[in-house]
Chain A
Amino acid sequence: SQQGEEDPQALSIQEGENATMNCSYKTSINNLQWYRQNSGRGLVHLILIRSNEREKHSGRLRVTLDTSKKSSSLLITASRAADTASYFCAFSGSARQLTFGSGTQLTVLP
């Protein structure tokens, strides 16, 4: 299965700024999820957006989905140093298994 692509590959911002990461995919999807991975750890689920939804919020996270463009974005508002991690999009199609994107390495400078 083909991976999704994410951009940027790396993002460095100051604490308090917003961080935006983008994900593109090529297949039809049932839902799209975002995961976070701290260095040396496993992935942790952040948020899921279904194919019939356009926007979803969870705390400081905002996810948008544009199925016509086959793209999604993750916005982290008021970033903190503790948000430093890699962020992966993952999409689920008819096979109900996840295909992960290439990831964005976010560094939030204090």
Chain B
Amino acid sequence: DAGVIQSPRHEVTEMGQEVTLRCKPISGHNSLFWYRQTMMRGLELLIYFNNNVPIDDSGMPEDRFSAKMPNASFSTLKIQPSEPRDSAVYFCASRWSGTGARETQYFGPGTRLLVL
């Protein structure tokens, strides 16, 4: 299995530009999570989906952030417009959520975002 795939791995953009991060979860997993990691705030859950439906988006910092999961194998996290304080590493994780599931999450390699 290829694991969770994220793209791009690195993104440098200017303030005000739109940024789209992409994630392909592990095949067969039905829950997907977007996290943001910074030195100041650590690892924060932004949003998670179960069976492609957003369950909890209370961690999404502002209306500038949006996430979609159009099908079981693809999700996007969009920031529009981007600001320097959005600079962070964004992780996607997936897991199987069902009866007897172990609740172990599998993380992608992350997207390192720098907004100038």
Contacts and interface: CB of A to CB of B under 8 A. Distances in A.
Interface of A: 1, 3, 30-31, 33, 35, 41-45, 48, 88, 92, 95-103
Nearest 10 A-B pairs (CB), nearest first?
Answer: A42-B107, A100-B43, A43-B107, A45-B104, A42-B109, A102-B42, A92-B103, A42-B108, A42-B110, A42-B91
Q: How many of chain B's residues touch chain A, expressed as a range?
A: 10 to 19
B67 interface: no
Interface of B: 4, 33, 42-43, 45, 48, 56, 91, 93, 97, 102-110
Nearest to A95: B56
Given A96-B97, A97-B48, A100-B43, A33 B4 contact: no
Nearest to A88: B43
A97 B91 contact: no
Contacts of B109: 41-42
Contacts of A48: 102-104
Contacts of A103: 42-43
A57 B33 CA distance: 28
Contacts of A1: 45
Q: Is the interface of A mostly helix, strand, loop or mixed?
A: strand
Contacts of B97: 96
14 contacts: A1-B45, A35-B107, A41-B109, A42-B91, A43-B93, A43-B105, A44-B107, A45-B106, A48-B102, A92-B103, A96-B97, A97-B45, A97-B48, A101-B42
Given A45-B106, A100-B43, 10 more contacts: A42-B108, A42-B109, A43-B93, A45-B104, A48-B102, A88-B43, A97-B45, A97-B48, A98-B33, A103-B43
